[in-house]
Amino acid sequence: MKVLIIGGTGLLGLEAARQLLAKKQQVIGLALPPLPVGVTLPPGYQVIYKNYLTMEDEELLNLMEGVQALVFAAGIDERVEGRHPIYDLYDKYNIQPVIRLLGLAKQSGVQSAVVLGSYFTYAQRLYPHWQLDKHHPYIAARIHQMEAALKYAEDGTMNVAVLELPYIFGVQPGRQPVWTILLEQILAMRKRTYYPKGGTAMVTVRQVGQAIVGAIHKNHGGNAIPIGYYNMTWKQMLTLFHRHAGIERKIVTIPVWIYRLGVSAIVKKKRRQGIEMGLDMVKFSNVMTSNLFIDKNEGSKMLGVKPDDIQTAIASSIHLSMEAIKGKTLVKMKSE
């Protein structure tokens, strides 16, 4: 099988490439330079360093010739903020690329497409009364991305899987972990770590790679698939953060109203600066203070995801985040 990965040198795209190559598949990656310092591409992995957003349709069609599976492992997440309406930025990087790429893939005869999405779309199905699509531009964009992707499976000629990914732990040398921001916030608290109740599902980078490989090979039609394997409360997760960052202090679970008061001040400050966030952090308290857990039997096991060492994955994420905080130069997420 020949597989094309958009975002082929990213944390998740490169892991998928490694696992596909281990199964003797032919893999091509399309990625933005540079390759992070310390990253070694696996033997046989062909990477083309170009911006797919600026490539002509004809060039992309030529690249897709003979390709049986497409993986979209690019885009931006809720960390990206900007001027109102921020939804337009998510549309540019998350929705329109999926519409264009899957349209070209279908035209080229690609049989399977995998889009890396967010478990916030899973939360929307579980808790429709939260109206996540109404209050949070980022979540609305992820929902619209999922809907756009699944339309390409409706006539039965191409399988499409949208993987609803939760928190992910694991590192790529030379690339800044997403956990750097949260760790900075924890360090700034000094005497106590204050956090609300609630918790989250999580997986390792290796497990995401396994889910991608499984989704490529499974004849599933069109589905949004929640991917989770481990579940922790925030207190359990932060206890591990403390341990691996060398922080010795008490973790205090604060009432929801105090959490809302704190994030309200952040939102107001951002607005004064003319910045719109992808999540309305006050209304996001519904998500933040819930146990947004995923049973591994809901999707992960079906796709062949195996148990992994989540403790080590968390440790490596925190250690590299600490290096970033101390000034180590690492590649960050690209956006406008």
DSSP 273: T
Under the banding of pLDDT at 50, 70 and 90, the label for residue 218 is confident
Which pLDDT does position 336 carry in this prediction? 38
Which pLDDT does position 334 carry in this prediction? 61
Rounded to an integer, the average pLDDT of 282-311 is 97
Domain 2-166+202-229+294-303: give its CATH superfamily.
Answer: NAD(P)-binding Rossmann-like Domain (3.40.50.720)
- Categorise residue 222: left if φ over 0, alpha if ψ from -120 to 50, beta otherwise: beta
pLDDT at 31 over 50: yes
Q: What angle do CA 39, 43, 47 make, to 5 degrees?
A: 65
Which pLDDT does position 209 carry in this prediction? 98
Q: What is the pLDDT of residues 116-134, one digit of tens each?
A: 999 999 999 999 999 999 9
Average pLDDT of the chain to the nearest whole number? 96
Rounded to an integer, the average pLDDT of 6-15 is 98
Rounded to an integer, the average pLDDT of 300-329 is 97
Rounded to an integer, the average pLDDT of 132-160 is 97
Rounded to an integer, the average pLDDT of 40-49 is 97
Spatial distance between the Cα atoms of 230 and 185, rounded to a whole number of angstroms:
24
CB 208 within 8 A of CB 274: no
pLDDT at 257 over 80: yes
pLDDT at 165 over 80: yes
pLDDT at 315 over 80: yes
pLDDT at 335 over 50: no
Rounded to an integer, the average pLDDT of 313-321 is 98
Spatial distance between the Cα atoms of 100 and 113, rounded to a whole number of angstroms:
13
Under the banding of pLDDT at 50, 70 and 90, the label for residue 105 is very high
Percent of the chain whose pLDDT exceeds 90: 96
DSSP-derived 3-state class of residue 66:
coil
Under the banding of pLDDT at 50, 70 and 90, the label for residue 200 is very high
